[in-house]
């Protein structure tokens, strides 16, 4: 039972960083990846302890890697367009 507590604490810490960060887009992406890592660890422990098949975990890992690549490509696009990753420099009314 103690194995499930640490990933849940990691998840809550990731949510706190995600909700209280308003400056940089990169830190927001890193906190989202930290949340994904804690979910991966929680699901891995659950499936390993109850002798489930780990093919589902590989499928989830593939989707999470695609999500990370999409976030990094968005970050590169924003830095090329605006020159930095500050949230206050993005003007959404220009669209």
Count Cβ atoms below 10 Å from residue 7 Cβ, excluding itself.
19
Residue 94 has pLDDT above 80, yes or no: no
More confident residue, 65 or 1: 65
Residue 45 has pLDDT above 70, yes or no: yes
Residue 1: which of 41, 36, 46 has the closest Cα?
Answer: 46
User: What's the pLDDT tens digit per position in 15-32?
Assistant: 999 999 778 888 899 999
Helix (H/G/I), strand (E/B), else coil: 86: strand
Average pLDDT score over the chain: 87
Domains belonging to the chain, first-starting first, are 2-84 (1.10.287.3510)
Q: Report the DSSP beta bridge partners of residue 86.
A: 24
């Amino acid at each position: 039972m103690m194995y499930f507590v640490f990933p849940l604490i990691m998840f809550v810490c990731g949510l706190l960083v995600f909700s209280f960060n308003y400056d940089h887009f990169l830190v927001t992406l890193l906190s989202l990846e930290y949340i994904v890592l804690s979910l991966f660890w929680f699901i891995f422990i659950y499936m390993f302890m109850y002798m489930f098949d780990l093919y589902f975990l590989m499928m989830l890992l593939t989707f999470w890697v695609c999500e990370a690549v999409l976030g990094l490509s968005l970050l590169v696009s924003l830095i090329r367009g605006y020159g930095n990753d500050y949230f206050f420099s993005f003007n959404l009314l220009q669209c």
